[in-house]
Structure 1
Amino acid sequence: MKYRRFGKTNLDLSVFSLGTMRPLGSEEGFGQIVLRAVERGINHIETARGYGKSEVYLGRTLRQLDRESVYLTTKLPPTADAKMMAGWIDESLFRLGVKRIDCLAIHGVNTWEHLEWVQGDLGCMQAVQGAIASGKVDHVGFSTHGSLELIQSTLETGLFEFVNLHYYWSFQRHAPLLAIADQLDMGVFIISPADKGGRLYAPPATLKALCEPFSPLELSYRFLLADPRITTLSIGPATVAELGPFLEMDDYPLTAAEQQVLSRLDHHMSDRLGPTQCHQCYQCLPCPEEINIPEVLRLRNLALAYDLVEYGKYRYGMFENAGHWFPGNKASRCTECGDCLPRCPSQLNIPELLGETHKLLKGKQGRRLWED
């Protein structure tokens, strides 16, 4: 296992962190995953108030470990009520059975209103800073599913020491944020690259063939670990077996062979989609019908280029069902008003592509595993 400095926290974290959103079956199974992960060298475990019984299960498992051998992160949602946040911190300490939380993350600074709550004189950061002063919390950061602009503004508040960020080879919109976080000496924790990055634990045959001689999951992890600005990647195994062989992966720069495969993926998408490829410039926004046009068309790109249709259905099904965690309306809401057309530098027929994507990806409604 490799370890990296987590920004200004100065904690040395394993490059793979155990996320506990998925492994929420039996308490026994949960404990087995945690213990095996620690045996394999993982020293950072992430949980959240919103992850069902995760804090409770983790607290009971920690009794079997040397508390100082692992770093704990738990996440609490943003609130304008400092008293409520203080109560949540105490509840998390009780559930985890610890006197101190190493890293506390504001869970989901996803809207501008959330940022206002964080910055407000009487908001949640007042309680967090009080908890730091009293020794209940060591370090504070935030997770986010928000826009690039919102995340940048949150980084630049100077209130945080680390960020939990969506960034993958299949989603590089947030690349500029890595540079900002690096300038600010903030730790960077990549959220769920296996799942959110394409459900790569069960890749389609097309993507597997394109990634040879590597697996899609291996290539995704290497793409991230080759970037020294990234500290750690979240993995969320549902079984011990899913811990897999990747934990001993090296973090050296991308090899020529890896770069060649990543280039092959790019060229294949360009060849497959031709002039209908969305290049993710985001100039089509805002949409009068609040359709997240770039994300819808990103899912189209991935589905048509790499046969990531099931992943596309999984993510597309969350529109209109996951609130601020996955904002935007479904493409079927398009009224063909044409507002976006003159702003697209690629001159895409956006209404037509939205309709095509809806037909391709519509399916059952999706929700987050846990609701706050």
Structure 2
Amino acid sequence: MKYRRFGKTNRSLSVFSLGTMRCLASAEVAYHTLAQAVAAGINHLETAQGYGKSEQYLGEALQTGLGVPRSQLFITTKLVPTADATTMAQAIDQSLDRLKLDYLDGLAIHGLNTWEHLDWINAETGCMQAVRQAVAEGLVRHVGFSTHGALEVILATIATDLFEFVNLHYTYFFQRNAPAIAFAQAKDMGVFIISPADKGGLLYTPSETLEQLCQPFSPLELNYRFLLSDPRMTTLSVGAANASELALPLAAADRVEPLSPEEVAVFERLEDHQANALGNDRCSQCYACLPCPEGIHIPEVLRLRNLAIGYDMTQFGQYRYQMFENAGHWFPGNKGNRCTNCGDCLPRCPEALNIPALLRDTHERLNGKAGRRLWE
């Protein structure tokens, strides 16, 4: 296991962190998963108040003992932003009680996704007043935020200088947040990558096309290498449901060197294949088409189309597309069938894409049963 400095926290974290959102089958399963992760060298254990019994199970495991001193672990929980300090203070106390801890190493504002959330953060009587008080009392040592929001919201949140680390999405198949990674580094913030295997492309179960294109590597291995070869990435989340799911990520836990020529060649092959498969219908993800009068998240819809056609990542595309209109600010935007052919986006597209037609095509390919956040 390799370790990296978590930005201005000055703590050294393992390059993989155990996210406990899926360790919910039972207290016993959670304990064995946590114990094996710690035995393998993972020292960052992350949960959230919204993850069912996750805090409770983690607290029980810590009481039982995970084989290392408490001081060697970095325990983070996440709490949703609130408009008032009292609600946040109560939430902090509740998390400490569930976790059976005297202090949190990390507290992340969970899902700082909208401009309204940012207003709450900046308000003098908002939730950060309670967070600052908790830091002053020694209940919280380091403060960060997690986000599924737009790049502009992420950049504005980093610019507040209120946070020491950021949890965000960034993978080979989703590089929109690259400017946020750079800004976080400039601010000496720790960078925690959310769900690079699952939301990064369902890479535990890749399509046959993607598997063949990535040979002699696996798609999951390549995505981990894409991230770990970049020293700005402190740690990647592993959302194991049980101890057996730790094996694949841990196999890459010491591979933080620059990309090899062979790995670079595979990434070039992936780019060429997608470009050829999509031809003139490939969306470059410039985001110039937004805003859409019908609230369609055009770039994300077309990104999922790019992946479905380019790499046969249809299962992943359906999984994510079905979140539209069903997950609120966690995955904002309407589905492609909401398009009214108003043409507002057409003159803004540098590729001159027939966006209304592509939106309809994506909807036909990917629409299905509505999806929701896992803990819902």
Q: Please indicate the TM-score interval, normalised by the length of the shorter structure.
A: over 0.9
CA distance in 2, matches of 1:189, 1:202: 23
Q: Secondary structure at the match of 2:13?
A: strand
Q: Which residue of 1 aligns with 2:9?
A: 9
CA distance in 1, matches of 2:43, 2:329: 31
Q: Which residue of 2 aligns with 1:287?
A: 292
Shift of 1:107: 0.1
Shift of 1:178: 1.1
CA distance in 2, matches of 1:123, 1:59: 28
Q: Secondary structure at the match of 1:8?
A: coil
Equivalent positions of 1:109-148 (< 5 A) are: 109-148=112-151
* Alignment equivalent of 1:207, drawn from 186, 207, 210: 210
Does 2:182 match 1:179? yes
CA distance in 2, matches of 1:30, 1:307: 34
Q: Secondary structure at the match of 2:144?
A: strand
Shift of 1:249: 3.4
Conservation of the 8 A alpha-carbon contact between 2:209 and 2:311: yes
Q: Which residue of 1 aligns with 2:191?
A: 188
Deviates more, 1:233-242 or 1:339-348: 233-242
Does 2:283 match 1:278? yes
Equivalent positions of 1:29-178 (< 5 A) are: 29-63=29-63, 64-65=65-66, 66-178=69-181
| Structure 2 residue identity aligned to 1:22 | R
Conservation of the 8 A alpha-carbon contact between 2:5 and 2:234: yes
CA distance in 2, matches of 1:327, 1:74: 24
CA RMSD of aligned residues (A): 0.7
Conservation of the 8 A alpha-carbon contact between 2:166 and 2:191: yes
CA distance in 1, matches of 2:248, 2:182: 30
Shift of 1:27: 1.2
Shift of 1:370: 1.8
TM-score norm. by structure 1 comes to 0.99
* Residue-by-residue CA offset, 1:283-321 (whole Å, 9 max, x unaligned): 000000000000000000000011100100000000000
* Residue-by-residue CA offset, 1:94-114 (whole Å, 9 max, x unaligned): 000010000000001100000
Residue identity over aligned pairs, in percent, reads 64
Shift of 1:255: 0.8
| Structure 2 residue identity aligned to 1:44 | H
Shift of 1:238: 1.1
CA distance in 1, matches of 2:97, 2:61: 14
CA distance in 2, matches of 1:29, 1:108: 27
Q: Secondary structure at the match of 2:287?
A: coil
Shift of 1:70: 1.2
CA distance in 1, matches of 2:119, 2:375: 24
Q: Secondary structure at the match of 2:145?
A: strand
TM-score norm. by structure 2 comes to 0.98
Consecutive unaligned residues in structure 1, runs of 5 or more? none
* Residue-by-residue CA offset, 1:200-228 (whole Å, 9 max, x unaligned): 01111000000011000000000000111
Consecutive unaligned residues in structure 2, runs of 5 or more? none
**Aligned structure 1 segments of 4 or more residues deviating by more than 4 angstroms:** none
* Alignment equivalent of 1:358, drawn from 363, 367, 375: 363
Alignment: residue pair count: 371
Shift of 1:246: 3.0
Shift of 1:234: 0.1
Equivalent positions of 1:294-309 (< 5 A) are: 294-309=299-314
Does 2:232 match 1:229? yes
